[in-house]
Amino acid sequence: MVRFAHIADCHLGAFGRKPELREYNIKAFEDAIEKCIERQVDFIIIAGDLFHNPLPDMDIVNRTVKLLMKVKNAGIRTYAVYGSHDYNLARASLIDVLESAELFKNVVNYLESENRLTTVKDKTGVSITGLSGRKNRLEKGYYEQIEFDTPDGDSIFVFHSPIAEMKPVDIPDKNVVPISSLPDGYDYYAGGHIHRPLEDLKDGKPVIFSGTTFGSSYTDLEREEKRGFYMVEDWRPEYVPVDVCSMVKVLVDAEGFTASEVEEMLIEKAEAVLEGDIVLVRVQGKLFKGSPQDIDFASIINLLESDGERTVFLNKNSLEAERVEKVKVDEEREEVIEKKVFEEQGTPEGTQGDLGERLLRILKSEKKEGETTTDYENRIWHQTRSLIENIKEEGELEEKPEKELDPQKPSQLTLESYGGAPE
């Protein structure tokens, strides 16, 4: 009887800006390893993305090495393939270093001369063949080009690619591999890359995505309900959950509400949160009035964090400001559009109806050929003042005391000069 563990997408070193979450992440991996040792598995399969990047923080590396040493000292073998986050074309990955230290075996054995993958034989007699994942799913073509050995006896195929028949809706169709592309004849297909546990069959044999042990992003934390790995005994898979912390989700739909109303809803919901090591807050929708900047999110986060040692994640990417109505005109001529604007916006009380249009024409006039900047500014100034004085004479504007101005210094002009600002 064979007993092994199937783990994937640990993403150790993720959440670099959130040390609390980074700690939960590696604790989840530690918990999975402890369960493997307790159950006395024969070996562990890591189906890619052990680390979040090829060269993670040295503290993460140190703790990972200690865990793998503990596994090795317990007489348990570890086999792995590259995930899309483990790969580094420019230089060696830490996966290569760990293999050189004999902490695990990379089961991707490609014979270039024969264009085929060969298997690795475990002490139990199980043959293990692997195909690594690459960024942007560059490994997709490998399934069509490479020859696979026909397994002899008990066998496992390890891969890190999304399968078309099993993919979630958020993974593009162009990046998937059909289940028919997986090589035939294996007893168990150990998948990685999809961060949720999924099960299917190929020729009656289990095709399994173990999911993530914790997650690597806000989306993972918010979306995934189950975190853990698979334990397989006598080829029967069993999902083993990993729970290192509790999570609470707070959702506020801002659609049709003002910014102040949304803030009140957030405060009310925050005060109702009594438990949870991690609080995930999502605010979405279009505000009826105001903008996201009008909401005091910092106070909301402080309110949630004041109740204990919590990590608060705020997602307001889907929150939109109020819609600003635009003037709708069919004509493309500039002067017609301007006229529509004045008509739709109205004219200030106590002014002549076409004052705005006449003033705009003056301000839009361009410099004449040979006219200096000073002459141009003085001309605009005199025309504008003349227009205002004519309106005053018609009695449409309230008279204000005239100030003495030097027409050669347009910078002296203010709203008060026109009688349009309060004294």
User: Which of 157-161, 165-169, 171-175 has the largest mean confidence?
Assistant: 157-161
Q: Are residues 360 and 278 in the same domain?
A: no
The partner residues of 206 in beta bridges, in order of sequence, read 201
Are 82 and 155 members of one domain?
Answer: yes
Residues 58 and 179 in one domain: yes
Express as a percent the part of the chain with pLDDT over 70.
Answer: 80
Q: Looking only at Cα atoms, what is the longest distance across the chain?
A: 106
pLDDT of residue 287: 93
- Looking up residue 183, the CATH number of its domain turns out to be 3.60.21.10
- Contact by Cβ (8 Å): 204, 14: no
Residue 411 has pLDDT above 50, yes or no: no
Domain boundary (182, 209, 241) is at 241
Look at residue 343 and tell me if it is in a domain: no
Question: Looking at 295, 320, 345, which one is the last position of a domain?
Answer: 320
Clarify whether residues 230 and 379 are in a common domain: no
Among 215, 241, 267, which residue terminates a domain? 241
If asked whether residues 21 and 139 sit together in one domain, one would say yes
Q: Residue 325: its pLDDT value, please?
A: 59
Task: For residues 314-339, give the mean pLDDT.
Answer: 71
Domain that holds residue 292: 247-320
> Is the residue at 124 inside a domain?
yes
Q: Evaluate whether residue 288 is within a structural domain.
A: yes
Q: What is the pLDDT confidence band of residue 3, given thresholds at 50, 70 and 90?
A: very high
Is 335 part of any domain?
A: no
Q: Is 52 a catalytic residue?
A: no
Q: How far apart are CA 403 and CA 418, in angstroms?
A: 9
Residue 386 has a pLDDT of 81
For residues 187 and 103, state if they share a domain: yes
180 and 67 assigned to the same domain: yes
* Residue 190 forms part of a structural domain: yes
Q: What are phi and psi of 280, to 5 degrees?
A: -105, 115
Domain count within the chain: 3
103 with 209, same domain: the answer is yes
CB of 295 within 8 A of CB of 264? no
Q: Which residues contact 60 (CB under 8 A, 6 or more apart)?
A: 12, 13, 22, 26, 51
Whole-model pTM: value is 0.72
Evaluate whether residue 329 is within a structural domain: no
Q: What is the mean pLDDT of residues 331-360?
A: 62
Question: Distance between CA atoms of 151 and 341, rounded to whole angstroms?
Answer: 76
What pLDDT score does 128 carry?
94
- Residue range 358-365: mean pLDDT, rounded: 77
Q: Which of 85, 160, 193, 195 is catalytic?
A: 85
The angle at the Cα of 199, spanning 211 to 177, to the nearest 5 degrees, equals: 85
191, 284: one domain: no
Check residues 301 and 419 and name the one with the higher pLDDT: 301
| Residue 334: pLDDT band with limits 50, 70, 90 | low
Closest CA to 238 of 206, 203, 196, 195: 206
Q: Are 388 and 355 in contact (CB under 8 A)?
A: no
Residues 235, 273, single domain; the answer is: no
Average pLDDT over every residue of 255-268: 94
Instruction: Based on the fold, state whether residues 52 and 20 are members of the same structural domain.
Output: yes
Query: Predicted confidence band at 416 (pLDDT cuts at 50, 70, 90)?
Result: very low
Residue 400 has pLDDT above 50, yes or no: no
pLDDT at residue 403, rounded to an integer: 46
**Does a structural domain hold residue 292?**
yes
346: in domain: no
Check residue 345 and give its pLDDT: 58
Answer yes or no: do 168 and 229 share one domain. yes
